[in-house]
Structure 1
Amino acid sequence: MDDIEVARKAIKGDEEAFVALMQIHKEALLRTALAFLKNEHDALEALQETTYRAFRKIGSLKEPAYAKTWLIRITINYCQDQLKKDKRYVRDGKSADSAVSDDLTQLELQEALSTLSANEQQLIYMKYFQDVKIKDIAALEKIPEGTVKSRLHKTLRTLRSHFEGKGEMDHV
């Protein structure tokens, strides 16, 4: 049984199919949560919350082919809510950034991504971290593919200028 058929059955209320659907996309959802939340415990909590929210709303998914994109959207929304809370409160006495890898390249990437708006970050995560196709992003956002492409182009240009600025600062 392929992913679309599993999604179709889950939408119709088949609980076993829903569990199978979550199992199929578990790794992608966990990677998404880790990319946003930066620590495994919070990412696992996000996966649980995504599962709960998806189970409650699975009947509202209109197109089974977009099940993965729909689940990623739920995960991203939950993660963004958590990050908003983290800005107001400090968890366990540590800042959200303290769990970030010491790898310099990773830190630079995170810094560059943090300069983007939430929508731009979401676009980058979906396209480059989750390999969601432009047509799927367009369907999910309910905008034309050309708009997704132009927003992606603009966001990448912003990231490039961020890194070019860093290079110039290093040479001064």
Structure 2
Amino acid sequence: MDEEIRYVRQILAGDKRAYIHIINRYKNPLYATILRMTKNPQTAEDLLQEVFFKVYEQLPKYNPKGPFKSWLYRIAINYCIDQLRKKRIQTEQIENTIIRSNDTPEVVLLQNEESRELEKMVSLLPEDERNILLLRYANELSYAEISETLGISIIEVRNKLYRAKKKLRKNAKEGGYLYGVSER
């Protein structure tokens, strides 16, 4: 009887310690294979651990008629290819986002900081002005739609919106931020 098949049977019978023998026997050759695929030692180590978890989960599906080593390598290689494909897709998405935006990480960070600061300033506005500002710019409603939604006149919508933007401009200048809040 093949040694691996004996260990597989022991594992399936509940002896989890028998899996250590399989790990010890295959960790170095599997690592070398994964390292050739990834060309990154840390990624190879991470994937090796994940492969051993995957193999353990799949042990009940192993057919003892075939060679264990081939079955093990097939799982390892397929898993690594899937993970590398996912990583490549994620990398491409990130690169596409960066290319589209043409923004450096510093610019993105500053924009996020400015957005948080603006949100904080908007939250300090009186509720009626804040609501009108959000309806106009976040929800892109017209003056007439805001008027209808809040049950106030269009003139009142314009006046409150004007006051809200004026307060934001004042707070932005005092805080060192110039947000370009338009007059419209």
TM-score band w.r.t. shorter chain? 0.3 to 0.5
TM-score normalised by length of structure 1: 0.46
TM-score normalised by length of structure 2: 0.44
- Which structure's CA Rg is the greater one? 2
- Greater RCO (CA < 8 Å, at least 6 residues apart): 1
